[in-house]
Structure 1
């Protein structure tokens, strides 16, 4: 058994297809299939359910897959720790909640300057998918809500706090300088869908005020939500800094959006990774650099 066989197994779990798994591993499909059969022979147990195509893993295969992910994680950490102090290279896969994507415009430049050989693959994912990606080993690191139930059990470091704001186009709605939660009832509401954690936070806040939300429009796409607000289809509640980074007026006549903070505490956003993952040099360097840039404690 060698680490390449384990990498082939993990690739098959990600791709759910022999041909695509082989392509991501830069080998032919017959080579990948032969090495996986060799692994089954060495372990003296079937790992993969095969028909005309990949049909899944056996119970034993799922157990081996869990061990494979841990072994490969430790192997990558070992390679990083043995590397010199030269700039980092390789690929880091990062999952980010939609409202934190724009924060990367502040976090990426210092990382690129310090480690130009490091390739960062960024995936926009809702909170449950972030947790799944970290658990399955598809993500090296995530940026998400630290208090989300799905994120319980992951190691974390804080980055910044998000504060709720009433968001609207000033060309269509008059928004008070210091809005109150009860004033949401005065506007047509365009909100994120109930399956998104940002909506869960909003529902929890209004329930604490004894209020109920009756949205006119819902979407799971922040880009679409912004377009609706710019078109004057309603107002929304979104993180203040997210709106300021993305849709503030540009000073050249563009209508933009206004974001007026609502009462209440912020929601902590931070970096998350599996507790079982050793902090290799690559992960440790990114954690330290981004925490320094964000100024979080």
Structure 2
């Protein structure tokens, strides 16, 4: 029994059932609290012991002293409707995205800072026509077929976009950033946190096996 408090970046929220569901099957007396927070807020909450674990980027901005379990690599796709520019393409470059009406997360989100970084590296700047800290707002605008967005591949797959919405890989560069579970570095961890770390490692193995199967 007990309660596990988790804070996660918005782009990782759709993945969380793959962690919480098998955990609860093994520990049916446990309940969860899940918050959507920026990467900076995740680390602040963790440092103040206001959460037991966080889901955030591991390789882009400093984490400080944490215990971490890499889960998956986030890769980016243009989400757009058939009939929009580049919708008939198999791939699109970061530089080409500057001409599109984009809806993106707000600049306080690390996902947005990553996107801005890769656009800048491609020599372009983008002024989104809509910004929000809610993925639901972005999804609802994409589904009108009048807006496009840049989203991680795993998130697009989770929400199952179908025709006329397409997910097109973005290249030059084919960028990726690691998302994982973080916990305080103290040893020993509480039994619940230790069990959650074990579950995260099992999930990481599952992600790796699925990626290898796709590539193979």
Question: TM-score when scaled to structure 1?
Answer: 0.64
CA deviations over 1:237-283 (Å, ceiling 9, x no partner) = 1111101101422xxxxx46322121223110001012236322211
**Correspondence 1:102-141 to 2 at 5 A:** 102-141=14-53
On the 8 A contact 1:247/1:257 being kept in 2, the answer is no
SS of alignment partner, residue 16 of structure 2? helix
Matches of 1:246 and 1:277, distance apart in 2: 37
Q: Give the direction of change, closer, same or farther, for the CA distance of 1:285–1:232 in structure 2 (3 Å limit).
A: same
SS of alignment partner, residue 163 of structure 1? strand
Q: Which residue of 2 aligns with 1:269?
A: 179
Q: Which residue of 2 aligns with 1:241?
A: 154
Q: Which residue of 1 aligns with 2:135?
A: 222
Higher relative contact order (CA 8 A, sep 6+): 2
On the 8 A contact 1:166/1:259 being kept in 2, the answer is yes
Structure 1 range deviating more: 271-280 or 152-161: 271-280
Matches of 1:150 and 1:277, distance apart in 2: 21
Question: What are structure 1's unaligned runs of at least 5 residues?
Answer: 1-88, 250-254
CA deviations over 1:157-207 (Å, ceiling 9, x no partner) = 101111011111336565111111122123211111111100100111111
Q: Which residue of 2 aligns with 1:199?
A: 112
On the 8 A contact 1:127/1:150 being kept in 2, the answer is no
Give the one of 97, 102, 105 matched to 1:189.
102
Q: Which residue of 1 aligns with 2:166?
A: 258
| Shift of residue 149, structure 1, vs aligned partner | 2.7
Computed over aligned residues only, the root mean square deviation of the Cα atoms, in angstroms, reads 1.9
SS of alignment partner, residue 262 of structure 1? strand
Matches of 2:43 and 2:62, distance apart in 1: 6
Matches of 2:48 and 2:164, distance apart in 1: 40
Question: What are structure 2's unaligned runs of at least 5 residues?
Answer: 209-216
Question: Which of the pair is proportionally richer in helix?
Answer: 1
| Shift of residue 123, structure 1, vs aligned partner | 1.1
SS of alignment partner, residue 138 of structure 1? coil
Give the one of 191, 197, 214 matched to 1:287.
197
Matches of 1:262 and 1:284, distance apart in 2: 37
SS of alignment partner, residue 56 of structure 2? strand
Q: Which residue of 2 aligns with 1:170?
A: 82
SS of alignment partner, residue 200 of structure 2? helix
Q: Which residue of 2 aligns with 1:55?
A: none
SS of alignment partner, residue 123 of structure 1? strand
Question: Which of the pair is proportionally richer in strand?
Answer: 2
Q: Give the direction of change, closer, same or farther, for the CA distance of 1:188–1:146 in structure 2 (3 Å limit).
A: same
SS of alignment partner, residue 92 of structure 2? coil
Q: Give the direction of change, closer, same or farther, for the CA distance of 1:153–1:167 in structure 2 (3 Å limit).
A: same
Which structure is larger by alpha-carbon Rg, 1 or 2?
Answer: 1
On the 8 A contact 1:167/1:235 being kept in 2, the answer is yes
Question: TM-score when scaled to structure 2?
Answer: 0.87
